[in-house]
Amino acid sequence: MVKLQVKEIALETAKTGAVALFLFEGGKPPKEIDRKLGGYIARLLKTKKYSPKKYAVRAIDTLGKIPADTVLLVGLGKKEDFTQEVLRRAAAKAAQSARAAGATSLALSVDALASKKHSAHDVAQGAAEGIVLSLYKFNEYRKKPEENGTELKSAIFASGAETPKVKEGVAEAEKICRAVYLARDLGNHPGNTATPSFLAAHALRECRKAGVRCRVYGKREIERLKMGSFLAVAKGSAEEPKFIVMEHLKGKKNEKPLVLVGKGLTFDTGGISIKPSGGMEDMKFDMSGGGAVIATMTAVAALKLKKNIVGLVPCTENMPGGRAVKPGDIARSMSGLTVEILNTDAEGRLILADALAYAKKYKPRAVVDIATLTGACMVALGTLASGLLGTDQKLIDALQKAGEKTGERCWQLPLWEEYDDQIKSTVADVKNIGDRYGGAITGAAFLKKFTDYPWAHLDIAGTAYSAKGLAPYQTAGSAGYGVRQFIEFLKKY
């Protein structure tokens, strides 16, 4: 991970490969740097040979007039449209442009961007996240590491009066980005590596390092818990299912915990209701919700949040083996409700149902689950937003607000009682699919049956991974989606 530093220096004195200058439309460049460059930046702006529209970058060779080799002009767009997310994306573009220019180090300053609306802490955190996340690489399985030009090794935040707040923001970003890297790594591993046992072992190791209590239940313990819905999905796989329970109990003793539940489907073939072969390799990402919860738990410990937070991740494969659950089979869930399984590819809700029932033992203040649950959500919202549904509007609003701030946006879908009619079974308490319409909603309606507490559901089927980065700080493959949104939510809720 790129090294981040905060130093009380002026940008024009920074001995780095590149210096990034963030500019608003209609704004002026920093006087001292522009003076040393002979007014060149001001002339570019005046003649409109460069316009600082959002994320527009112009590289200038300094010709030795300042210690840095290159000045990068980075556009922020209109000042009234400025947000932490705009800066996050602009900083990502700056880091990528610095690397493309051959720089191994980058200097930037965010002090001037701080205001009553955007604190120095927040702008520093946003810029740091953009830089670090944009430079992520996954080279685990390459004989020769992927070459993306020169490696950017360090980024220096040149600061003055705001140095203490800038340091706090950068330090927080480092801890959060480390967790996002973990979530991305877990998601990018192939299914033959990232088995339920692999995921559980990583959770144990990372939680031990972070100081989070972690227990892993195997098949026998899951059977004793009477998680029949979870076990139905696991039946077809040669890999043993695992149930990961993580506890960060640093709040008051009588404080009800917030519980995060993540879908840990390490590979999803669809089971007997098998998926088409085209694109099935992407089903290694079906554990992205679980990876986000594991990573979030390590981050809450690193940030020393004084709250009671629990993470639950049911892990299994969904395979069409000789013992696999069949369409029409009925499973008895931990809650006692029986489930008619009409489609074995609607398996995520089956493992989440038992995890949501298990969450009741904590008498939670609120529960949020996160899952790559339905292709229907992707049809509805595309790849730019997650679906958000639930039973508590205050909880939903808090998640949506956190998503807006972190750029991990979500959109609320209805969950009216009438949708429950679609999952009524004639032979069991509930069936695991509705008709062909509103699949993201009926999936959530199914999950709602297993909750009796304030609850929200994030469907990240469209946002968890991509063949290309949808934002400048996202890279192809696993996005590590949900970690930053969860941290922001947990801090504020």
Q: Which residues of 331-342 are buried (b: 16+ CB within 10 A; e: fewer)?
A: bbbbbebbbbbb
Question: Cα–chain-centroid distance for residue 375?
Answer: 19
**Distance, CA of 184 to CA of 294 (rounded, Å):** 11
Query: Which residues, at least 6 apart from 186, have a Cβ–Cβ distance to it below 8 Å?
Result: 194, 199, 202, 287, 291, 294, 295, 478
3 state DSSP class of 432: coil
The catalytic residue among 275, 332, 365, 401 is: 275
Instruction: Report the sign of the C-alpha dihedral through residues 332, 337, 342, 344, in that order.
Output: negative
Six-digit token pair at 123?
């702008």
Report the amino acid identity of residue 435.
D
The secondary element (H helix, E strand) that includes residue 186 is helix 163-188
Backbone angles phi, psi at 412, to 5 degrees: -75, 130
Strands 455-459 and 386-390: what pairing? antiparallel
Six-digit token pair at 57?
């970058």
Give yes or no for a contact between 423 and 434, defined as CB atoms under 8 angstroms apart: yes
Query: Which residues, at least 6 apart from 26, have a Cβ–Cβ distance to it below 8 Å?
Result: 78, 79
**262: nearest Cα among 414, 457, 405, 436:** 457
Burial class (CB in 10 A: 0-12, 13-18, 19+), 451: buried
Six-digit token pair at 446?
């199914």
Residues in the chain: 493
The secondary element (H helix, E strand) that includes residue 486 is helix 483-492
User: Could you tell me the maximum CA-CA distance found in the chain, to the nearest angstrom?
Assistant: 81
The catalytic residue among 58, 93, 99, 349 is: 349
**Distance, CA of 289 to CA of 152 (rounded, Å):** 30
Question: Cα–chain-centroid distance for residue 124?
Answer: 19
Question: What one-character-per-residue DSSP string does 281-295 give?
Answer: GGGGGGGHHHHHHHH
88 is catalytic: no
Report the amino acid identity of residue 402.
A
Q: Which residues are catalytic?
A: 275, 349
